[in-house]
Amino acid sequence: MPPRSAPDRLLAVLDAFDHDHPALTLTDISRRAGLPLTTAHRLVGALTAWGALERDPSGVYHVGLRLWEVSALAPRGLALRQAALPFLEDLYEATHENVQLAVRDGAEVVYIEWISGRSAVGVRIRVGARWPLHATGVGLALLAHTDPEFQAAYCTGPLPAFTAHTVTDPALLRRMLAEVRRTGCAVSVRQITDDALSVAAPVRGAGGAVAAAVSVVVPADGIQVPALIPAVRLAARGISRRLGWRPA
């Protein structure tokens, strides 16, 4: 393996942090980044001086606020969340259930906003969390509106299962995506946890392309899905209009 470049090593330090490892010692960073301790020490020092990392009194490092400032400039990040938040709050008030906003990053869905509902349904989601597209309502809504070549490749690729109900059959997934395009909404039942159901709808940007998806996650038992669909569609349509989309 060729030696890693300086940018690669720097990014490896940042990549050492994730939701399961939000606080790391210098030794932890060295190990998780695959770098010699002296190299990690030098890079961590530079990142800390710039503000990308912060060191607490105990000597443990955390992601710094400077990265938050930079990420706020991403058009699919803070700006999208700010545009969507009033409609997400309206959806929460209409349902009092978990409300989510997500975007696609390659073959995964990334959650950029989440309002926690009152029910005890098992939601394994938080801001920044990632899941494969086929296993969530927002993922299905996003996948259904990707280009046909991407969809074909995704459907024939590995489809990991998280419960006994996760869709892993390519033919069934293709039929589900066609139904999403036909109805304008996606329903995912017990795919991530056995007790949860999500209803999602796509959010369109100014040019009409799907830019995000919004969903409500509810207990899988005793919920009337048809009653949720209009509220989710209305929220998605409102966000789309706020982003500049106008229906033909």
Q: For the segment 182-196, what is each residue's pLDDT rounded down to a tens digit? A: 999 999 999 988 888
155 part of a folded domain: yes
How many domains, in total, are found in the chain? Answer: 2
Containing structural domain, residue 219: 78-242
Domain identity same for 90 and 133: yes
Q: What are the pLDDT digits (tens) for 95-125? A: 888 999 999 989 999 888 888 876 656 555 6
Domain identity same for 194 and 222: yes
- Which of 173, 175, 225 is closest to 198 using CA atoms? 225
Largest CA distance in the chain: 59
Domain identity same for 56 and 111: no
| CA end-to-end distance (rounded Å), the chain | 53
Question: Do residues 214 and 101 touch, judged by C-beta distance below 8 A?
Answer: yes
Domain identity same for 53 and 136: no
Count CB atoms within 10 A of the CB of residue 140: 29
Average pLDDT over residues 1-30: 86
Domain identity same for 44 and 84: no
Quick one: 199 exposed, middle or buried, by C-beta within 10 A (0-12, 13-18, 19+)?
buried
> Which pTM was predicted?
0.74
Domain identity same for 34 and 65: yes
CATH number of the domain within which 63 lies: 1.10.10.10
Domain identity same for 42 and 137: no
